[in-house]
Chains A and B, each alone.
Chain A
């Protein structure tokens, strides 16, 4: 009897724990999901383009990047939309199979690798810019918009962590550290006391995040190449 009373009491009182709001933000979330899906389709179009398959024979890791600008644009579009590339080279769907089959596996692999490299570098460039702005601008309004950007970048970081882009150990560690820092910024209240912001700053400094990002970006890339 006592047990039953306790369970009833517990259910009644614990229901306030992380109680979800009555209104679920359905439309807002759907818009984000639809944008991500749209960007995914764009990336598939870029992947299928004749330019992409013609370029696949180009050798050299970074020398091929400039020649693959359509794919770089697609990758940047993805990042701009706040989603990552983890979705688009993870095994061909039935729909894309004929196109993929027309490429040799080596060429396919080269495109994939170079594309993830481009996407990673573009992403790191965006994170570097955001973190630099975050550290330099203390205004609440700016911080709020930077937080929104940090949220998108966090999503992309997580997807890149779950993609071939994270196969390189040092890049994987960098992405993991970025996830920590970005998550901290996302949960930071725009009106938080200076000490809370200082904690984020310390995390950025301690992990040498900006230095490591800059050393991961090939010269010239962040300046629009």
Chain B
């Protein structure tokens, strides 16, 4: 059965069709959510919420894109909004003293590459980071990213370029590792 037929049956309330759509896409949705959240519980929450919203809104799916792209759009929206809320919460909880001490932290104090890289990715502007995660880590094309995020594919390319440039600059003291 084609995906289009599955969608039609899922709209009619066919649970087997809904399950088939779920099976076809859950891995990718979960991976995306996990890349954004970095936490299994949150990734589960975001994945579940994405599917519940998608099934609820299925009658409004206009088939202008594939079901997958439409679903990933919902999943990214749920994940990014969810993680934004959590970050807002954490920001509120960081005391002024703690914030000051973070600001004064010696950037070279932690020699571990993975930690530095992790921090550098997290310090990227949200748009850059999202495109970087989707393209370089999850293998989405710029066209797919454009559709999912509602931006031009050229914008996606530009953001990826800037993300890499930013990372390269921040990680300059590791240059020996990649130029060797």
Chain A residues near B (Cβ < 8 Å):
2, 5-11, 13-21, 24-26, 28-30, 32-34, 36-37, 40, 83, 87, 90, 93-95, 151, 154-155, 158, 179-180, 183-184, 186-187, 199, 203
Query: Could you tell me if B88 and A180 are in contact, using CB atoms closer than 8 angstroms?
Result: yes
A/B pair count, beta carbons within 8 Å: 120
Query: Could you tell me if A13 and B26 are in contact, using CB atoms closer than 8 angstroms?
Result: no
Among B52, B93, B113, chain A packs the most CB atoms within 10 A around the CB of: B52
Return B156 CB to nearest CB of chain A, in Å: 16
Bound-state Cα–Cα, A167 to B19, Å = 34
- Show 16 residue pairs from A and B whose CB-CB distance is below 8 angstroms, ordered by the A residue: A7-B164, A10-B136, A10-B167, A11-B136, A15-B137, A17-B121, A18-B133, A24-B26, A37-B52, A87-B52, A151-B41, A158-B82, A179-B85, A187-B41, A203-B89, A203-B92
Q: Is the interface of A mostly helix, strand, loop or mixed?
A: helix
**Inter-chain pairs besides A10-B136, A33-B55, A183-B86, 18 sampled, C-beta below 8 Å:** A2-B178, A6-B168, A10-B167, A10-B178, A16-B114, A17-B38, A17-B121, A17-B133, A18-B37, A24-B31, A25-B30, A32-B48, A33-B22, A36-B48, A40-B56, A151-B41, A158-B82, A187-B42
Return A37 CB to nearest CB of chain B, in Å: 7
Chain B positions within 8 Å of A16 at CB level: 114
B45 at the interface (CB under 8 A from A): yes
Query: Could you tell me if A29 and B86 are in contact, using CB atoms closer than 8 angstroms?
Result: no
Given the known interface contacts A18-B34, A33-B22, the answer about A28 and B44 at a Cβ–Cβ threshold of 8 Å is yes
Chain B residues near A (Cβ < 8 Å):
13, 15, 18-19, 22-23, 26-27, 30-31, 34-45, 47-49, 51-52, 55-56, 59, 82, 85-86, 88-89, 92-93, 113-114, 117-118, 121, 132-133, 136-137, 164, 167-168, 177-179
Chain A positions within 8 Å of B49 at CB level: 155, 158
Bound-state Cα–Cα, A3 to B88, Å = 35
Chain A positions within 8 Å of B26 at CB level: 24, 26, 29-30
Query: Could you tell me if B44 and A25 are in contact, using CB atoms closer than 8 angstroms?
Result: yes
Query: Could you tell me if B22 and A10 are in contact, using CB atoms closer than 8 angstroms?
Result: no
Bound-state Cα–Cα, A155 to B37, Å = 16
Chain A positions within 8 Å of B133 at CB level: 17-18
Bound-state Cα–Cα, A159 to B22, Å = 21
Query: Could you tell me if A14 and B117 are in contact, using CB atoms closer than 8 angstroms?
Result: yes
Query: Could you tell me if B19 and A30 are in contact, using CB atoms closer than 8 angstroms?
Result: yes
Chain A positions within 8 Å of B136 at CB level: 7, 10-11, 14
Q: Which residue of A lies closest to B121 (CB)?
A: A17
Chain B positions within 8 Å of A19 at CB level: 34
Return B54 CB to nearest CB of chain A, in Å: 10
Query: Could you tell me if B117 and A95 are in contact, using CB atoms closer than 8 angstroms?
Result: no
Chain A positions within 8 Å of B37 at CB level: 18
Q: Which of B38, B59, B88 contacts A94 (CB 8 A)?
A: B59
Bound-state Cα–Cα, A155 to B35, Å = 20
Query: Could you tell me if B41 and A17 are in contact, using CB atoms closer than 8 angstroms?
Result: no
Query: Could you tell me if A93 and B59 are in contact, using CB atoms closer than 8 angstroms?
Result: yes
Query: Could you tell me if A90 and B56 are in contact, using CB atoms closer than 8 angstroms?
Result: yes
Chain B positions within 8 Å of A6 at CB level: 164, 168, 178-179
Q: Which of B47, B93, B113 contacts A13 (CB 8 A)?
A: B113
Chain B positions within 8 Å of A29 at CB level: 26, 30, 44, 47-48, 51
Query: Could you tell me if B178 and A83 are in contact, using CB atoms closer than 8 angstroms?
Result: no
Query: Could you tell me if A203 and B93 are in contact, using CB atoms closer than 8 angstroms?
Result: yes
Bound-state Cα–Cα, A87 to B31, Å = 25
Return A195 CB to nearest CB of chain B, in Å: 11
Bound-state Cα–Cα, A62 to B43, Å = 39
Bound-state Cα–Cα, A18 to B35, Å = 5
